[in-house]
């Protein structure tokens, strides 16, 4: 289920998508030292579970960054 999906027959592309969503999701979870699992329920439903480790403490910002205000400017008008 988490493997990349390739269509050998182009006529089967009516469902849309490219078959990479779950494969990419699993790779992202693994890159964060987490995991993505799937379970099929008795009623045929699919349950996806994403487990990611919680950080013990958020990373500290350098003191200079933590004191600077954030200023958002409006987007320039298109010409």
Q: What is the pLDDT of residues 18-69, one digit of tens each?
A: 567 888 889 999 998 999 999 988 998 989 999 998 877 777 766 665 566 6
Q: How far is residue 6's CA from residue 54's CA, in Å, rounded to a whole number?
A: 34
Alpha carbon of 19 to those of 35, 47, 68: distances in Å? 19, 18, 43
Residue 40 counted as domain residue: yes
DSSP-based three-state secondary structure for 39: strand
In the chain, the number of structural domains is 1
pLDDT at position 4: 66
Residue whose tokens read 């099929």: 40
Residue 28 belongs to domain spanning = 1-8+15-51
């Amino acid at each position: 289920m988490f493997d990349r999906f390739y269509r050998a027959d182009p006529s089967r592309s009516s469902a849309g998508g490219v078959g990479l969503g779950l494969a990419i999701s699993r790779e992202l979870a693994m890159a964060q030292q987490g995991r993505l699992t799937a379970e099929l329920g008795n009623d045929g439903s699919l349950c996806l579970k994403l487990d990611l480790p919680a950080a013990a403490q958020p990373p500290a910002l350098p003191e200079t960054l933590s004191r600077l205000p954030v200023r958002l400017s409006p987007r320039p008008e298109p010409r």
